[in-house]
Amino acid sequence: MSAQPSRSIQFDDQGNLRHFLTIDALPAETLVQILDTAESFIDFGLREIRKMPLLRGKTVVNLFFEPSTRTRTTFEIAAKRLSADVINMSATRMSTTKGESILDTVRTLEAMHTDLFVVRDHASGTPHLIADHLPSHVRVINAGDGRHAHPTQAMLDMFTIRQKKDDFSRLRVAIVGDILHSRVARSQIHALSILGAREIRVIGPRTLIPTDIQSMGVNATTDMTDGLDDIDVIIMLRIQRERMDGQLIPSEQEFFNRYGLTEEKLRFARPDAIVMHPGPINRGLEIASSVADSSRSVILNQVTNGIAVRMSIMARIMGGSGR
């Protein structure tokens, strides 16, 4: 679970953020600036007229090689509220397509004077590859690449935690479920580390926890009772039902019995612990409905914050752009 540091490509020569590809090499200061700017967009989201001219006359391309209506929609809404024109490209590319063809597609779109690519792909590293081969005035945001990273999701999670809990240095955070295959977990762990969380714990079946997880400064356990003890923030991950083949997870029922977050298990955590989930939730698999819909759940706050955080990231990386 090691990551290629990408600090250099993410910043320009003046030290301005120009791409948002991965969190692991970013300084805490950058993360805090993004969260602070997002605060102002939260107020904006409550206004009568949710439209500001920041990206007027700019073109944002949603380049989703892996289908995702939900995440695509959040970027589309965020970009349109900033007055950008949005082009949706739900390209399905063959697994045999060579990297060079992706670059041809992107170079062609760039030649149309587009300004920002929001990229999702099943292969790790595609957004980085694209950023590496585009002219310097074009921006790239990683909207999820393989098992590698989902940095905007992690940022909206950090925003939600800060909104509810204030100081990271006092927080113990548990991430529960399929850690091994989760780009969300990876990005969350990086962000929590950088922001100085007191403890990061992962909980899940042994088969779904990376063997080298301790090297990331993370504690691991297979038991929910131990795992949730003294925890302030519980992040449930989404289980991909296609992994429910008996190899990695015995059965849906058994997974829910051991790791599904019920009101009963929630009692192991701190009494004011909050419950998070990147969505869409599988009720009765990762989480009981009574917990998902309770006052402890901040799942819908995450969605609301996701718009503000994505607007913040777009505004920041587009700030210094211009042909």
Residues forming contacts to a copy of itself in the complex (CB under 8 A) are 45-51, 56-59, 69-70, 73-74, 76-77, 80-81, 85, 87, 89, 91, 100-101, 104-105, 107-109, 111-114, 279-281, 283, 289, 300-301, 303-304, 306-307, 322-323
CB of residue 48 vs a copy of itself: minimum separation in angstroms? 5
Question: How far lies 10's CA from each of 46, 207, 229, 264, 312, in Å?
Answer: 31, 34, 37, 44, 16
- When the beta carbons of 189 and 298 are compared against a copy of itself, the nearer one is 298
| DSSP bridge pairs for 120 | 64
Using the Cα atoms of residue 222, residue 224, residue 229 and residue 233 in order, give the sign of their dihedral.
Answer: positive
Nearest-10 Cα torsion for 299, 301, 303, 306? -130
Using the Cα atoms of residue 257, residue 259, residue 264 and residue 265 in order, give the sign of their dihedral.
Answer: positive
CB of residue 132 vs a copy of itself: minimum separation in angstroms? 15
CB of residue 11 vs a copy of itself: minimum separation in angstroms? 22
Using the Cα atoms of residue 15, residue 16, residue 19 and residue 23 in order, give the sign of their dihedral.
Answer: positive
CB of residue 80 vs a copy of itself: minimum separation in angstroms? 4
CB of residue 73 vs a copy of itself: minimum separation in angstroms? 6
- Copy the structure tokens of residue 317: 């990386």
Give the length of the chain.
323
3-state secondary structure 25-53: CCCHHHHHHHHHHHHHHHHHCCCCCCCCH
- When the beta carbons of 143 and 194 are compared against a copy of itself, the nearer one is 143
- When the beta carbons of 61 and 197 are compared against a copy of itself, the nearer one is 61
| DSSP bridge pairs for 140 | 117
- When the beta carbons of 213 and 235 are compared against a copy of itself, the nearer one is 235
Q: Cis ω on the peptide bond leading into residue 280 (within 30° of 0)? A: yes
Tokens 């917990």 label which residue?
Answer: 291
- When the beta carbons of 113 and 170 are compared against a copy of itself, the nearer one is 113
CB of residue 296 vs a copy of itself: minimum separation in angstroms? 17
SS3 category, 63: strand
- When the beta carbons of 73 and 214 are compared against a copy of itself, the nearer one is 73
CB of residue 51 vs a copy of itself: minimum separation in angstroms? 4
- When the beta carbons of 103 and 248 are compared against a copy of itself, the nearer one is 103
